[in-house]
Structure 1
Amino acid sequence: MRLQSDDVQHDLVRAVRAGLGLVAGPGGRLDPAEVHACLADLDLFALELPDAAGGLAFGMACAVPVCEELGRWAAPDSYRAGALLADLIQSPEQDSRGHGPSALAGLLPLLAAGRTTAGLAAGTGVVATSAADGWELNGDCALPDSPAEAAFHVVPARRTDGTALAAVAVDAPGLTCTATRRDGVRRLSLKGVTPHTLSAPLHDADDVPSPLLVRARIRQAAYLLGLAAGAHRLAVGRAAGRRQFGRSIGENQAVAFPLAEQFAHLEAVRLLVHEAGWDSEGGRPAAVGATQSLAYAAEIALRVTAHAVHVHGAVGITTDSAVHRHYRVAAVEATRWGAPTSLWREAGALRLR
């Protein structure tokens, strides 16, 4: 494994950073539609897709720095949802009634061009039950920062044999989307909704995560790493620039020492996430790496963003503050694929196999 990023990864990061910088509003606030347009202009939705689907076939090692940079901006991110929908479509596994991902294969070129977008739901409130014509979804889940023009939602759904992923059209009968009191988060309600496709369970009979879940966890870990790194950068800038009693607050040990410790943790997480992406791309076993890197990234994202708000003081709790946005996004994203404690437990069990 390379410990340093290569030229392609550096170029991808610089391109995303420059593109988002052009559309960022006051305080770095970003509109989901503008973020999606920026990524589409850079052809990033084609990054992981194969040549046959109009993709660039760069692989997970290049997707990791893109997700990390999106996290640094706390950007409303349609990349992870689109990539997961593409993985779901390309998955060779069919559900028990034969309604498999191949039904949506014609969407791959549209996903590569960024002309079809998806929302990525969170939560375990949706249940998939067997019906006469396939599957039926019922329940509620959260939908954070979904693009306004999304054509599909990728929804976690609990089956009797485990949790699976369903692709649901936004105009499907029985699906409603309503606002909540949390900024950027809507409630997705499903009543008798028939999904276009439903994946196999995300864990097999031996509780080993599927390749679909492994790739989703790696992207999520990279995004959380970026969130933490972005909040840390803001905290360091605040500590250096804020002066009290004739000196910067960063000269106080209670501020400086946690920031130094967090930097070391961020570097450790970065190595884990990039190693997991490298293993996944090379066809090596990546289940352990993906699980433990996500657990570590989630813990660090929650810890670093909370401390960054503390360093900012009263300014950090205002909704216009950039660090407040990082904190709020981390609270939603850190448990999307499971709480850190459960992920650590799973990683330990996988290591003992």
Structure 2
Amino acid sequence: MRLVHDDVQRDLTRAVRAALNEVVGPGGRLDPVEVHACLVELGVFALELPDADGGLAFGMDCAVPVCEELGRWAAPDSYRAGALLADLVRSVEEAGTGLRSPASAESPALIGVGKVTAGLAVGTGIVATPAGDGLRLSGDCVLPEVPPQAAFHVVPARHGDGTVLAAVAVGSPGLTVDGPRADEVWRLSLEDVTPDALSPPLHHDGIPSPLLVRARIRQAAYLLGLASGAHRLAVGRAANRRQFGRGIGENQAVAFPLAEQYAHLEAVRLLVHEAGWDADGGRSAAVGATQSLAYAAELALQATAHAVHVHGAAGITTDSPVQRHYRAARMEATRWGAPASLWREAGALRLR
């Protein structure tokens, strides 16, 4: 495994960074429509898609720096949801369970050019129950953000065989989206909704499926970016803010945690890139994806909270850029499992 980025990874990071810098608004805010347009123009949605779907087939190795950079800006991220939707459609095709909607079968190629986007729901409130010749989805969950002109929502659903992922077309009978609420999230409600695509269980005999492994790697990269972005803001604040005649960065209570977090950031970065490298090379990435996500989630929670403390009273205002990282970390840290449960799962996988 390479311990440093290659030219393609560096170019991707710089391209995404430059594009987001062009559209960033006051207080570091980014408009979802403008961010999606930037990603479409850069062609990043085709990164992981195979040649058969008109993709670039670069793999997870190149998806990781894109997710990390989006996290660093706490940007509205339509990439992870789009990539997961494409993976979901392919997993359904491989399992031979079929798709209900012809539009779903065409979605990988359309995702590659940014014409199909998806919302990525969070929560365990959706239940899949047998009905007729298939399953119906009912319950509530939340959407941290709704991408522009989303065609599908990807939702986790509890099933008798374990958790599955479902793609539900926007406009399906029984689907309602309310919001945004005061915490800037939307409520997604389903009542006897027929999914357009339904994945196999995300775990089989305690082993995460390839679909879940890839989702966890992208999530770990995004959380790494959130932690890195919050850390950068905290370092800048510590360097520029002066109290009692000296910079607050000279205080050990501020400086030491920042130094420790930097070391953890580099450790997580190596773990995430190793997991992506394993996934691309056909090696088992289940352990790497699980432990890198657990580590990244813990670090994101810790780094964003400390960054708010470093900013003081300014850090708790909604206009503060660090607040966006803090809120995003709280929502995203448990998307694919709480850190404690992920560590237990990684330990069990190592003992197999």
Q: TM-score, normalised by structure 1?
A: 0.97
| Counterpart position of 2:81 | 81
Q: Is the 8 A contact 1:74 1:329 kept in 2?
A: yes
Say if 2:313 is the partner of 1:288: no
The whole-number CA distance in structure 2 between the counterparts of 1:85 and 1:325 is 25
The whole-number CA distance in structure 1 between the counterparts of 2:332 and 2:248 is 30
SS at match of 2:95: coil
- Tell me how far 1:100 sits from its aligned partner: 4.5
Say if 2:238 is the partner of 1:243: no
- Tell me how far 1:3 sits from its aligned partner: 0.2
The runs of 5 or more residues in structure 2 that have no matched partner are none
- Tell me how far 1:146 sits from its aligned partner: 1.5
Q: Is the 8 A contact 1:174 1:193 kept in 2?
A: yes
Look up the equivalent residue of 1:3 and give its one-letter code: L
Say if 2:145 is the partner of 1:145: yes
| Counterpart position of 1:157 | 157
| Counterpart position of 2:296 | 297
Q: Is the 8 A contact 1:101 1:198 kept in 2?
A: no
| Counterpart position of 2:188 | 188
- Tell me how far 1:180 sits from its aligned partner: 4.7
SS at match of 2:334: coil
| Counterpart position of 1:308 | 307
| Counterpart position of 1:328 | 327
| Counterpart position of 1:107 | 107
| Counterpart position of 1:350 | 349
Q: Is the 8 A contact 1:88 1:101 kept in 2?
A: no
The whole-number CA distance in structure 2 between the counterparts of 1:110 and 1:93 is 19
Q: Is the 8 A contact 1:101 1:199 kept in 2?
A: no
- List per-residue Cα deviations over 1:310-330 (Å, max 9, x = no partner): 000000000010001100000
Look up the equivalent residue of 1:222 and give its one-letter code: A
- Tell me how far 1:113 sits from its aligned partner: 0.4
- Tell me how far 1:106 sits from its aligned partner: 1.4
Look up the equivalent residue of 1:13 and give its one-letter code: T
- Tell me how far 1:51 sits from its aligned partner: 1.4
Look up the equivalent residue of 1:94 and give its one-letter code: A
SS at match of 1:10: helix
- Tell me how far 1:184 sits from its aligned partner: 3.0
Q: Is the 8 A contact 2:72 2:226 kept in 1?
A: yes
The whole-number CA distance in structure 2 between the counterparts of 1:245 and 1:101 is 66
| Counterpart position of 2:136 | 136
Q: Is the 8 A contact 1:100 1:199 kept in 2?
A: no
Q: Is the 8 A contact 2:101 2:196 kept in 1?
A: no
Number of aligned positions between the proteins: 350
When structure 1 is superposed on structure 2, of 18-27 and 104-113 the one drifting more is 104-113
The whole-number CA distance in structure 2 between the counterparts of 1:53 and 1:62 is 18
The whole-number CA distance in structure 2 between the counterparts of 1:107 and 1:303 is 37
- Tell me how far 1:248 sits from its aligned partner: 0.3
The runs of 5 or more residues in structure 1 that have no matched partner are none
Q: Is the 8 A contact 2:278 2:284 kept in 1?
A: yes
| Counterpart position of 2:273 | 274
SS at match of 1:168: strand
Look up the equivalent residue of 1:168 and give its one-letter code: V
| Counterpart position of 2:21 | 21
Aligned-residue RMSD, C-alpha: 1.2
